[in-house]
Amino acid sequence: DAGVTQSPTHLIKTRGQQVTLRCSPKSGHDTVSWYQQALGQGPQFIFQYYEEEERQRGNFPDRFSGHQFPNYSSELNVNALLLGDSALYLCASSSERGASTDTQYFGPGTRLTVL
């Protein structure tokens, strides 16, 4: 059973560009959450998707947007990249509608470097 997968593994962009990161949830999971982990910090919640809609959002600007597809996979889009967007972006999936008691399974992350 494949776990959570993310692509690409690494990505280098320049300031002002746009980037799309992809996530496939664990089999049987219907909820996807995205996190940003800056170097030396804990992950910070960006947003969560369920039934193709953004259900919760953390303190991130509108430059961060996402999408969930009918097969539950998800994309994270970041526009107008800033140097401060350089981080490890983690995707996590869960089932049971992402209820608070459900366990989230994390992917290995995408390392984004903005130059």
Tokens of 71: 């097969």
- Footprint of other proteins on 86-115 (CB under 8 A): 90, 92, 94, 97-109
Q: Which stretch binds other proteins (CB under 8 A): 11-19, 27-35, 63-71, 72-80?
A: 27-35
Interatomic CA distance for residues 34 and 65, integer angstroms: 10
Residue 71, interface with other proteins (CB under 8 A)? no
Pairing relationship of beta strands 44-50 and 31-37 according to DSSP bridges: antiparallel
Tokens of 110: 């995408």
Chain contacts with other proteins (rule: CB under 8 A): 4, 31, 33, 35, 40-45, 48, 50, 55-56, 58, 90, 92, 94, 97-109
